[in-house]
Chain A
Amino acid sequence: MSDSELTMGAAHGVLMEESPYGMQSKKLAMWLFIASDAVTFTAALVAYGFLRIGSPDWTKPFDFWPSIANGLVMTFVLLSSSLTMLVAVRAAKGGEKSKAVQWLGFTMLLGIIFAALHLREWFRMFDEGWRVYKNPTGGSVEFGAAFFSVTGLHLLHVISGVVAIAVITWGYNRGRLDSNHVETTSLYWHFVDIVWMFVFPLMYLMNAR
């Protein structure tokens, strides 16, 4: 088989063959990143578990109101953002550009609302005297370290995701990017949602009063 027969629509002189994964490289790269990020979050949660088990004076500071209730609203918002992202991807795959852009916008909005609710919770805790290194109840100071680290890492992912969706939306709307870019970005966003499915029970519900 000649070189030209092996090449599939690529630039001159470039040999290509079909990916065994049946997907573009950027999508496979996103899966690779998600696998590594999953392990990172697991390490953070295992560290939290280690500190919690090792602390005889662990604090459980979250009342249903406002903390758990706020967490429930945040969970609803993030789950809904995954749904809006799914609508956006389906629209993009179906060639409905304006609908896709609209639903990407809804996804970003819900991501921003999630981040705002999260920061509001953080500032409320700061007002009560919580810090990474301080526990106002007199219990283990490692609670603050664990809580703010894990939730902060997740919040960073949410904010980064909102920025990424904004960039992809802009490029897709201008015709510079296609539906595959939208789909690849959606993988990251769903991953961030799935991580919250662990963070909320382990960091909030396990520390509910």
Chain B
Amino acid sequence: MASDQGPGMTTYVSIWVGFLAIVGIEVAITYQHPETKHLLAILLVLAFIEAAIGLLYFMHMKYERKILFWTFVPITVFVLFMMDHVWPDAFRLFYLRLGQ
């Protein structure tokens, strides 16, 4: 089966070290005190990079049949995208509360 293939422990340990480095970078950037929206963007990008690497290597998706990726990832991304339609309402709530 495809799942019997996979990287060796050296790759896993390297990825683990890489994850720790990314977390360190996230903390370092946080304490540079950037604007909230910039910090959010950077943290989300780094988190998605970690998630993608974790999914591909730790969860072995890279070594499974491609149909697994195409079954789950596009639809999940679509659902995440659809959830992002609430933000205008959040800002409307902010200005509504400011006006009170």
Contact = CB atoms under 8 A, between A and B. Distances in A.
Interface of A: 20-23, 27, 31-32, 35, 38-39, 42-43, 46, 49-51, 53-56, 64, 68, 72, 75-76, 79-80, 82-83, 86-87, 90, 93, 183, 187, 190-191, 193-194, 197-198, 200-202, 205-206, 208
Contact of B80 (A42, A68, A83, A197): A42
15 contacts: A21-B65, A23-B1, A23-B2, A32-B72, A42-B79, A42-B80, A42-B83, A53-B87, A56-B94, A68-B30, A79-B23, A194-B55, A202-B40, A205-B27, A205-B30
B93 A197 contact: no
Interface of B is mostly: helix
In order of increasing CB-CB distance, the 5 nearest A-B pairs are A54-B93, A53-B90, A201-B43, A197-B50, A190-B58
Contacts of A76: 20
Contact of B36 (A35, A54, A55, A206): A206
B65 to A, nearest CB: 5
A21 B68 contact: yes
B53 to A, nearest CB: 9
A22 B65 contact: yes
A105 B36 CA distance: 41
Nearest to A208: B30
Interface in B36-94: 36, 39-40, 43-44, 46-47, 50-51, 54-55, 58-60, 64-65, 67-68, 71-72, 75-76, 79-80, 83-84, 86-87, 89-91, 93-94
A187 B68 CA distance: 14
Given A53-B93, A64-B31, A22 B1 contact: yes
Contacts of B91: 53-54
Contacts of A43: 83
Contacts of A23: 1-3, 64, 68
A6 to B, nearest CB: 20
